[in-house]
Amino acid sequence: MQAILAEFRSVATSWRFWSLFGFHDAQLPMHRTRFGLLFYTFQSLLRVTVIFLVLGPAVAADHHDYFGYLSIGLPLFGFYSAAVTSGYGILTRNKIILGNGNVTYLACVMRFMTEHSVRFAFSILGFAGYLAVYPETFNSAMLLLVPGIVIAVVFIFATALTFMVVSSFLPNISEAVNSIMGIMFFATPLLWYAGERGEMRSLIAMVNPFTHLIAVVREPALGRVPEALSYIYACSFTLLVVAVSIWLFGVTRRWMIFKV
């Protein structure tokens, strides 16, 4: 446990590494475009607008907030999904740096967090337009964004750490992991509203942890109070993932790099 705590403390001392490299990683795919990081905003707006125009009349005829619902939900699910799919590649990506002993495993996880936090921040800029059109969205319920964001950040960090460890001894299941996250996209109320698409979909949404992990952020952002059940599910699942990640990391941290 002392060694694990030392790993966590080392994150503060290596902040230059993970902040600069993480920001560079976010910029790299867009460095040849004139938009730069704003290309993430353009991509997100285009996706949300097309879905809004195609599915909006059928799925959200009674909901004026569908554009905002999509603007928050889709990028947030993308962040959660990246913790699984990109988390699986953290060791491989940082193999040389880790082999030189310059940084710790958790600093590499923070590099991932920085990269995808930047991507997420630019992806939800379109939500500002929604708030400008519907200023009544601003109310006291938005204060609940604070605990929602804390839950989301802890879950994403723990999930990325878990799959980084898993990749060291199960390196050949990345395609299966990607497929599972593709299925979860359609099983999560991102394009549709939970409770309005039949009993079976409502049941799937209720037992799906991503439903609640998204709800504790999306509902306050839309000026609504999340259900207590969502907080219970989100907190319980996050604590479970944290416990698993710490245990796995403690068991494998000494030999993990030699398995890459």
| Position with higher pLDDT, 33 vs 146 | 146
Reported as a single tens digit per residue, the pLDDT across 204-243 is 888 899 999 999 999 999 999 999 999 999 999 999 999 9
Reported as a single tens digit per residue, the pLDDT across 188-209 is 999 888 776 667 777 888 889 9
What is the C-alpha separation between 39 and 248, in angstroms, rounded?
37
pLDDT beyond 90 at 99:
no
Which pLDDT score is estimated for 89? 86
Which pLDDT score is estimated for 236? 96
Burial 109-130 (b: 16+ CB within 10 A, else e): bbbbbbbbbbbbebbbbbbeeb
Give the closest residue to 226 by CA, choosing from 121, 134, 151: 151
Mean pLDDT of the chain: 87
Which pLDDT score is estimated for 8? 72
User: What would the mean pLDDT of 178-189 be, rounded to a whole number?
Assistant: 90
pLDDT band at 1; cut points 50, 70, 90: low
Among the residue ranges 83-87, 210-214, 249-253, the one predicted with the least confidence is: 249-253
pLDDT beyond 90 at 60:
no
- What percent of the chain clears pLDDT 90, i.e. is strictly above it? 48
Tokens of 183: 């299925």
Contact 23, 115 (CB under 8 A): yes
Tokens of 125: 């800029």
**What are the extents of the domains in the chain?**
2-259
Which pLDDT score is estimated for 61? 61
Reported as a single tens digit per residue, the pLDDT across 110-169 is 999 999 999 999 999 989 888 888 888 888 999 999 999 999 999 999 999 999 999 888
Say which residues have a Cβ less than 8 Å from residue 11's Cβ, sequence separation at least 6: 18, 104, 106, 107, 110
Which pLDDT score is estimated for 172? 77
